[in-house]
């Protein structure tokens, strides 16, 4: 189980590691901005690696990459950002990097080819690639995202299954069942209310709930994917105004306790 990069988006590197250790996570997620801020504060690469080791943590998730679907200048910028992630992986580690869903501006086979390109570049650094479908984009559900990954033909490419996005999107479990278990790269856990309060973006970033504290039937979702044979890293990702008002360590502990509770219930 790891603490996602998004859960403590403003925490310092040291705060993030201390919070993850306090919650007894095995790993963390990190973005290049977190790494750059740590270097600016005087931490060397060796010091950051030692801090991970001292707390028994690994860098699990890095990301995220947008515009991977694009051409022209946008594609160049996206690949430049990819290189930043690869340097981060080579420096501190990482199991997978996140790609977010976007527009279907070109035929799906063309998008699959571009996804394959990302997978090939990531494979050179020992990374898996997790495509995260977002319900407010054209890549809005597991069916569309899996089709892109499947057509890419790359074994290190697959999907991120986010409980929030699944439930606020199609909520179609049959689409999830079509994904081979080994192509689920990561699972991200939170909870929420089925009825939106604001826009998709507002609710996504401001109104997620701790696992088991909402209406998303997280226990049943865990049973579904584990019944499929999925054995992917599980990330706690709770984005909310309420959590942002709390100390980082408290947020991490609350998330860890809630995630472990739904996992235990699912496996009972």
Supply φ then ψ for residue 130, to 5 degrees. Answer: -110, 115
Query: Given the DSSP bridges, would you call strands 234-236 and 2-3 parallel, antiparallel or unpaired?
Result: parallel
Q: How far is CA 37 from the centre of its chain?
A: 21
- 123-162: per-residue pLDDT in tens? 999 999 999 999 999 999 999 999 999 999 999 999 999 9
3-class DSSP assignment, residue 134: coil
CA 49 to chain centre: 21
Between CA 268 and CA 262 the distance in angstroms is: 10
Collapse the DSSP code of 99 into the 3-class scheme (helix H, G, I; strand E, B; otherwise coil) and give the result: strand
Token pair, residue 125, equals 């650094």
Q: Domains along the chain?
A: 2-267 (3.20.20.150)
The proportion of the chain whose per-residue pLDDT surpasses 70, expressed as a percent, equals 100
Query: What was the pLDDT predicted at 87?
Result: 96
| pLDDT averaged per 10 residues in sequence order, the chain, 268 residues | 94 97 98 95 97 98 97 97 96 98 96 98 98 96 98 98 96 97 98 92 95 97 98 97 96 98 97
Residues 139 and 107 sit within 8 Å (Cβ to Cβ): no
pTM across the whole model: 0.96
Q: What pLDDT does 168 receive?
A: 94
Three-state SS string over 15-54 comes to HHHHHHHHCCCCEEEECHHHHHHHHHCCCCHHHHHHHHHH
Copy the structure tokens of residue 154: 């790359």
Q: Rounded to an integer, what distance in angstroms lies between the CA atom of residue 142 and that of residue 131?
A: 10
Euclidean distance between CA atoms 51 and 41, whole angstroms:
14
- Distance separating alpha carbons of residues 76 and 81, to the nearest angstrom: 9
Tokens (6 digits) for 22: 């306090």
pLDDT at 201: 87
Give the span between the Cα atoms of 22 and 249, in whole angstroms: 6
Tell me, what's the pLDDT at 156?
A: 98
> Within 10 A of 61 (CB to CB), how many other CB atoms are there?
28
Neighbours of 156 (CB within 10 A): 18
65, 82 in Cβ contact below 8 A? yes
């Amino acid at each position: 189980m790891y603490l996602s990069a998004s859960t403590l988006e403003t925490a310092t590197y040291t705060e993030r590691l201390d919070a993850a250790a306090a919650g007894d996570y095995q790993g963390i997620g990190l973005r290049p901005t977190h790494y750059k801020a740590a270097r600016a504060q005087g931490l060397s690469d060796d010091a950051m690696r030692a801090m991970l080791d001292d707390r028994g943590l690994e860098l699990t998730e890095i990301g995220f990459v947008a515009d991977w679907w694009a051409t022209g200048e946008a594609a160049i910028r996206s690949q430049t950002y990819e290189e930043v992630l690869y340097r981060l992986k080579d420096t501190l580690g990482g199991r997978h990097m996140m790609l977010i869903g976007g527009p279907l501006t070109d035929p799906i086979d063309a998008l699959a080819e571009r996804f394959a390109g990302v997978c090939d570049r990531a494979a050179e650094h020992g990374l898996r690639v997790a495509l995260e479908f977002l319900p407010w984009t054209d890549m809005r559900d597991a069916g569309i995202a899996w089709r892109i990954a499947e057509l890419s033909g790359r074994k290190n490419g697959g999907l991120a299954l986010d409980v929030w996005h699944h439930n606020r999107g199609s909520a179609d479990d049959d689409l999830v069942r079509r994904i081979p278990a080994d192509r689920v790269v990561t699972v991200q856990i939170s909870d929420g209310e089925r009825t939106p309060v604001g826009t998709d973006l507002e609710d996504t970033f401001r109104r997620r709930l701790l696992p088991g504290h909402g209406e998303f039937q997280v226990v049943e979702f865990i049973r579904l994917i584990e019944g499929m044979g999925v054995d992917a890293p599980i990330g706690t990702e709770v984005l909310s105004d309420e959590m942002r008002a709390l100390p980082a360590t408290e947020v991490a502990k609350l998330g860890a306790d809630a995630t472990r509770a739904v996992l235990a219930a699912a496996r009972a």
